[in-house]
Every structure is written in structure tokens, then in C-alpha cells.
A and B are shown apart, each in its own frame.
Chain A
Amino acid sequence: MIKIQGLYKSFGDLEVLKGIDNEIKQKEIVCVIGPSGSGKSTFLRCINLLEEVTAGEIFIDGIKVNDEKTDINDIRTEVGMVFQQFNLFPHMRVLENITLAPKKIRKMNPKDADELARQLLEKVGLSDKAKAYPEQLSGGQQQRVAIARALAMKPKIMLFDEPTSALDPEMVKEVLDVMKQLALEGMTMVVVTHEMGFAREMGDRVLFLDQGLLVEEGKPDQLFNHPKHERTKAFLSKVL
């Protein structure tokens, strides 16, 4: 579903991703772990071209993403993204946050969009918050709305960039639960996370990134319990 070949990315002189190859299959849950600054976010952001790719190729459903001829907005409607800082639109109510893109981009009529939004809010357990403004919600609630907002475009793939890192501990679970539900429904997901518990339980595969390189990958059990590389061992000994 996502095919990444020789992905290379630099910011000026700073090489952040130094040649990454990977293929993510439909319905696969891939967790990306690694130390701070290793390039996890950049990797994720290259997939939907929030960062311009310096070299290499990314294909989604066989379509080359980083191609002049590809309409990147079309690709992005198929790839939902959830950010660490939620990034809800503060000037809109929860319902409008969710319906805006379906109405503007998918040209969905307002009634259907509202109906869809209400279904999604129910799914993330926030049916009573449709009329609230983001600032009236807790962090965990905001993040769940952000997930609903991304799902409203009916994406085939969801990207999560440390979705629980900005949350107080007691709110982490409510967000992870929504993500688990999504995973069980068969969504293809790439999740950058520090939640090793989530990676272990839900991940089909875990990628360990360090200094811009994909150092090691494997099934969670294999990578967490029997890491092959020294760098993986060193990282895991710090976070587990």
C-alpha cells in the first residue's frame, strides 16, 4: 500500500533521513520508534509530503507521491494525519472541525457531513461535544476530535505522530483505545510512538530508526525481546 524506496531527506546541510526502504501493506499497523531527533516525524511527514522529499521515491497504491504530475491534495485526502499537538482549528466548533474538509474538498452536502461527523464523534466517545470549541476540551478529547476529523475524509491510511506525547498520563488511554479500535477495524496505520505498550500489543511490525537510518525492524516480540543491533538494545534498555 505504501512503498518507500531510498527515501533521503536533508534540511540544508543536515541529513535527517539517509536512505530508507520499506513497504507497508494494507491493514498493517506499523509502529516507528527511535530516539529524539532520529527522523521519525520527518519520515512520517514525507509520506504525505508535508516535507519535500530530497531523493528517493514514495508510492501510495502504486501512485508516485513525490512526482510533479501527482496532485498532492488528492493523495492527502487518502492519508489522514494526527499530530502531537492536535492542531484542531480553534475558531471552529468540534462539528465544523470535522465537517470542513468533507464539505470543502469532497463536496459533501452539509447534512450528510453533519451526519458523518456525529457518527465519528460517537465512535470516539464525544457525542456530547459537537457544539464545543476546542479550547473547552481536555487534551485527550481534543486528540480524539483530531482523529475523527482525519477519519471524516475516509482515508485509506492513517499517520500518527506521537499522538499521546502531549497528553497528561490519565488521558493517554482514551486516545490509545480509539486507535486500537481503529486498528481492529482494519485501518492501515503508521504510528510514531513512545508508547511501547501500544507497539507491543497492536503493532504488526516495529521499525527502529536511529540517526536517519532504519536500523532494525521486526515483529514486536522479536524486536523488543530479541533485538539484534547494539543500538536497538541500547535504546530499548533506556525506554523499557
Chain B
Amino acid sequence: MISIDFLDIRLDVIWSYRELFVRGIGVTLALTLIGYIGGFLIGLLVALAKISKKKWIRIPAKYYVDFFRGTPLLVQILIIHVAVIPTIFGHSLGPFVSGIVALILNSAAYNAEIIRAGIQSIEKGQMEAARSLGMPSGVAMRTIILPQAFRRMVPPLGNELIALLKDSSLVMVIAVNDLLYAGKVVAGASFRTWEPYLTIAFLYLILTFIFSKIITYVEKRFSNSYVPSSRRRIFSFGRSKGVDSE
């Protein structure tokens, strides 16, 4: 079988545990994608709450974001798993659910800030033009502001996705069987240290590489110009308006 003398790396050990790693990748991807989509949707609501004119909507949203950005994710995972969920449901819903909930709530807080900044980066005149045509603010937000704001959010939201992929490994602390957990199990079972951990590091690297390729593609699709054929590459905030726009 394959073996390398230096450090005595034995890839055959890894190969024999391949199913564990594959399942780990699956769980990590599920955590990341569900966490991201949930985090995006809740983040959108929190962002809208944060820019609300009503204080009783704005203030709780602010505390929410401050809490989840101001405390370690590891602490949040533990609080949710051992305290929040058992208190609400009377029993644990399993580590995977706890992990997902923690990741969703955490990434929602970060996404909320990105989305809020994106919305506020749109020129005031856009909202005013929409309102002056008689559009209610909700319609104006959906049809005029958000479509423009999302383009500007693509790069930071992309970073957030990659950060979440890596941070998802923290759920191992409550024994979710993700990729990191697979590494740990294999290490324990095979009495090897280098191979399992290097393997999962390598697998994480491949995942982040694939994700960043996808993000780069999306960024290009949604670059500065709205004209389909002549999309410019340079990303810029604050589109120049008026006579010098061409």
C-alpha cells in the first residue's frame, strides 16, 4: 500500500475510514448551507428592523446583533444546546438541531449588518423617487432598494459564507458529526494523529476553494454595470450619476 517514510504518513488508514469523512463533508455542507440560508433570511428581517423608524422594533434588533457579534460562537452553541433548547422544548432536539440553530442565529447577526449597510448605501434619491410615484415603502424597498443593495452586498456576503463554513466546525463541541468530528473519531480509532487532521484540513481547503470560485462567479455576474453585455469588472460603491456617468 501507499506509504511515505518521512513522518510515516499512511494514507491507507484514511482510505479505510473514507465513509466517515464523506459523511462529515455532508454534515458540514448541510450545516453551512442551511445555516447560511436561514441566517440570510433572518438577517434580512433583522436588518430591516434595525433601520425601522419604530424604536421598539429597532432596539431589540440592535441588542440581538450586539449579543451575537459580541460573544464567542462556541459559547452561543453551548448555551443553545444545553440551556435554551432544553428549556423551550423540555428535552434536547439533538446536537445537529442545536448546531444549526446556533449557526443560523450567529450568521444572521453578521448578515444583518452587511444587509443594513448595503441598504443604507443606496442613494436616498432612489427611495424618494419611488415614494414620489406613490409607492408604499414596502414596495419601494422590494422593487427598488433591495435589488440594487444586493449587488453591493455580494462580496461581503460571500466572505460571510466562507467564514461560516469554517466556523461550522465549532459545533463539534456538542458532538455534531461534522467533518472535524470525523477527523477526531478517526484519530481516536486509528491511533494516528497526522493523517486524519491533515485530511480534514485538506478537505476544508477544497470546500473553501469551491465556495470562493462560486462567489467570484456570482460577483462577476453582479458587477457594477447593469447593462448585460458590457459589464465592467471593477466593483465600486456609489455609482456616479448624471452627465458624467458614461
Contact = CB atoms under 8 A, between A and B. Distances in A.
Interface of A: 48, 50, 73-74, 76-77, 79-81, 83, 85-91, 100-101, 104-105, 133-136, 138-140, 142, 146, 149-150, 153, 166-168, 171
B53 to A, nearest CB: 11
Given A91-B147, A167-B242, 8 more contacts: A81-B132, A86-B241, A87-B126, A87-B129, A104-B143, A135-B225, A135-B245, A150-B132
A48 B143 CA distance: 21
Interface stretch (B12-20, B134-142, B160-168, B178-186): B134-142
A146 B128 CA distance: 13
A166 B243 contact: yes
A9 to B, nearest CB: 16
Interface residues of B, number: 27
Contacts of A77: 133-134
B144 interface: yes
B237 interface: no
A146 B130 CA distance: 11
Interface string B107-149: 0000000000000000101101111111110010001100110
B239 A90 contact: yes
Contacts of A150: 132-133
B4 interface: no
Contacts of B246: 135-136, 138
Interface in B68-127: 123, 125-126
B67 interface: no
A222 to B, nearest CB: 32
A90 to B, nearest CB: 6
Given A135-B226, A139-B243, A73 B135 contact: yes
A150 B139 CA distance: 17
Nearest to B224: A135
A142 B125 CA distance: 14
